Chain A
Amino acid sequence: MPQLDPVIWFFVLGVAAGAARADLRLPAAIYDFVSTVLLLAIGLKGGVELARDTGGLPLAELGGILLLGFVLPLPAFAIARHIGRLSRPDAASLAAHYGSVSVGTFAVVMSYLATRGIAFEARAAVWVVLLEVPAILVGIVLARGLAGNVAWGHLLRELFLGRSIVLLLGGLAIGWLAGPDGTAAIKPLFFDLFKGILALFLLEMGLIAAAQLPTLRRHGLFIVAFGVVVPLMFAAVGTVLARAIGLSPGGTIVLATLAASASYIAAPAAIRTAVPEANPALSLTAALAVTFPFNIVIGIPLYERLAVALAG
């Protein structure tokens, strides 16, 4: 077992403090600030690397990843509906959360690979953008049907102008335009402090995850099993796709982690308004209190072994 990345301990601290009802809360403005810096940093890093690399964007690879975003919700829905015996809206909501991705988990895998000196494709930030929205759309269609009463125009606007997409794409564009030299002046905040900011983000996520524990107790075993088994399955799918489109071992770990991750920011907000009869606590608890900790503590090292085994 490799040593745990110190940032993970901040998550553990948040969960412990939250569970013990310690007097600890980050103000909403701090959470907004921290997540903004993280999203911009991820975008900028990708943009700077893209500016360095003149290869351009491989369309087959990006198309394959976009397709993954549309396909992943389907098995998740089937499992939740037929094995979990959940109502249609609840199963569709879980499908949307698990098909979509978590930027927090992406930040942790970036930090993990950086610590271990494993390189991965600079354009990985683009994969996050591609994977965020499709599954949410599929989830809504699974709940409502194609003819359903959904304000699609309004919904698409909210999704594509959501803060994660805007900040990731904005960061990518600025990083790409400014290049390595141009971003030197902002490097101290966005690159050098990345781990410290990530630690604060994880502390807050730990506190929020701890707040989900009562729901977890209520829904019990299925949510825990779903939150562990589905990421493992999806990581395997991500790994196979990564090999098929010829990603590096580092890129394979990133794509497996993205496939395994579950959205807890974009998906909850969109599903809450588009599928109001789904129980929001169910999906959020699974994504945040089960899958997120599972991925950052156990999942990522496991996906690394899988990628190494397949590459070897």
Chain B
Amino acid sequence: MEQFPRRLLTVVTETVLERELVAEFEALGVRGYTITDARGKGGRGRRQSDWAQEGNIRIEIVCEPALAERVAQRLRDRYYDHYAMILFLQDVSVLRPDKF
């Protein structure tokens, strides 16, 4: 079975940013993403998933390495200073390269 290399970008951040980030992704040319509610603890304290005002979300994007890099850079420059946000990149393999 042939596999194709792509990058998985995972972002964990504040629920209030969801709409704004989705607009950023569209503008940068991201074709698909998955968003789930999340909870946990980090540099800005414990965050719940049950109340949107202080909830967390986890966003996953699978795409070309160059695009993943651009998205990561944009998020770092624009949101790291004032929002609870972490992101990380991983190598993944996909079966349908035209989709990602």
A106 CB-CB contact with B under 8 Å: no
Residue interface mask A204-241, B partner, CB < 8 A = 1: 00001001001000000000000000000000000000
- Ordered by A's residue number, 21 sampled pairs between the chains whose C-beta atoms are within 8 Å are A26-B50, A27-B50, A28-B37, A28-B49, A28-B51, A28-B52, A31-B50, A208-B51, A211-B48, A268-B16, A269-B16, A272-B16, A273-B17, A273-B20, A276-B82, A276-B83, A277-B81, A277-B82, A280-B54, A284-B53, A284-B54
Residue interface mask A5-39, B partner, CB < 8 A = 1: 00000000000000000000111100100000000
Expressed in whole angstroms, the minimum distance between the Cβ of A148 and any Cβ of chain B is: 15
Task: Provide the bound-state CA to CA distance between A280 and B17, in Å.
Answer: 13
Q: How large is the interface on A (under 10, 10 to 19, 20 to 34, 35 or more residues)?
A: 20 to 34
A265 CB-CB contact with B under 8 Å: yes
Residue of A nearest to B15 (CB): A269
Main secondary structure of the interface of B (DSSP, over half): mixed
Task: Provide the bound-state CA to CA distance between A264 and B51, in Å.
Answer: 11
Evaluate contact between B48 and A269: CB separation under 8 angstroms: no
The 8 Å CB contact of B53, one of A27, A264, A276, is A264
Expressed in whole angstroms, the minimum distance between the Cβ of A126 and any Cβ of chain B is: 25
Task: Provide the bound-state CA to CA distance between A214 and B82, in Å.
Answer: 20
Residues in B whose Cβ lies below 8 Å from that of A284? 53-54
Evaluate contact between B50 and A273: CB separation under 8 angstroms: no
Evaluate contact between A31 and B16: CB separation under 8 angstroms: no
Task: Provide the bound-state CA to CA distance between A282 and B38, in Å.
Answer: 23
Given contacts A28-B37, A276-B83, A277-B82, contact A269 B50 (CB under 8 A): no
Residue of B nearest to A279 (CB): B82
Task: Provide the bound-state CA to CA distance between A276 and B80, in Å.
Answer: 11
Evaluate contact between B82 and A31: CB separation under 8 angstroms: no
8 additional A-B residue pairs with CB within 8 Å, beyond A31-B51, A269-B53, A280-B54: A25-B50, A28-B50, A211-B48, A276-B83, A277-B81, A277-B82, A284-B53, A284-B54
Residue interface mask A156-182, B partner, CB < 8 A = 1: 001000000000000000000000000
Residues in A whose Cβ lies below 8 Å from that of B16? 268-269, 272-273
| Nearest 7 Cβ contacts at the A-B interface | A276-B82, A28-B50, A272-B16, A268-B53, A277-B82, A269-B16, A208-B51
Residues in A whose Cβ lies below 8 Å from that of B17? 273
Residue interface mask B13-55, A partner, CB < 8 A = 1: 0101101100000000000000001000000010011111111
